[in-house]
């Protein structure tokens, strides 16, 4: 099966952590652990107010997103579970989406779209369904189209 897979996972792009109070997360991750904020993102549609941090350097850096809901208790719930989702760099998101869909992977609504960091993204749903039985086994997984620089860095490692 791996010989025909039309894409590769190149690495972890992000880890998203949610809380009812983003400031408590910021105290831990910024004030105590020393990560530096690189941006903010706010979306009414996604019910999220987040600060974006970076761990590491260059093309191998990992984004840490600290998320708080704009409307507590409403969906989507960005604070429940607290370890909200894991993001993976892919070298060909469109091919991955088509290939995984054909193999029964359930994707969250919204399809491929522009994400908070400006890359095309889609999400594997945490749970399978009758129509698409393979989900993330309880984990929301974000698939992210890697930019050319990340693809080139991965080729150098290989």
List pLDDT tens digits, range 85-132. 999 999 999 999 999 999 999 999 999 999 988 999 999 999 999 999
For 127, counting Cβ atoms within 10 Å of its Cβ (0-12 exposed, 13-18 middle, 19+ buried), the class is: middle
Q: How do residues 15-47 score in pLDDT, each as one tens digit?
A: 999 999 999 999 999 999 999 999 999 999 999
Q: What is the rounded CA–CA span in Å between residue 68 and residue 47?
A: 8
> Parallel, antiparallel, or unpaired: how do β-strands 140-145 and 83-90 relate?
parallel
What's phi and psi for 4, nearest 5 deg?
A: -100, 0
The CATH number assigned to the domain holding 110 equals: 3.10.180.10
Domain range for 55 is 9-157
Domains of the chain: total? 1
């Amino acid at each position: 099966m791996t010989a025909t897979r039309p894409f590769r996972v190149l690495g972890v792009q992000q880890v998203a952590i949610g809380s009812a109070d983003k400031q408590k997360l910021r105290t831990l991750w910024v004030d105590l652990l020393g990560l530096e904020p690189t941006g903010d993102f706010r979306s009414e549609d996604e019910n999220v107010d987040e600060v974006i941090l970076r761990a590491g350097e260059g093309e191998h850096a990992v984004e840490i997103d600290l998320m708080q809901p704009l409307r507590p208790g409403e969906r989507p719930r960005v604070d429940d579970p607290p370890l909200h989702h894991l993001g993976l760099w892919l070298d060909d998101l469109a091919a991955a989406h088509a290939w995984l869909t054909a193999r029964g992977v359930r994707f969250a609504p919204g399809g491929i779209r522009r994400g908070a960091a400006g890359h095309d993204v889609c999400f594997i749903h945490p749970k399978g369904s009758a129509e698409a039985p393979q989900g993330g086994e309880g984990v929301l997984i974000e698939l992210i189209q890697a930019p050319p620089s990340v693809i080139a860095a991965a080729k150098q490692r290989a």
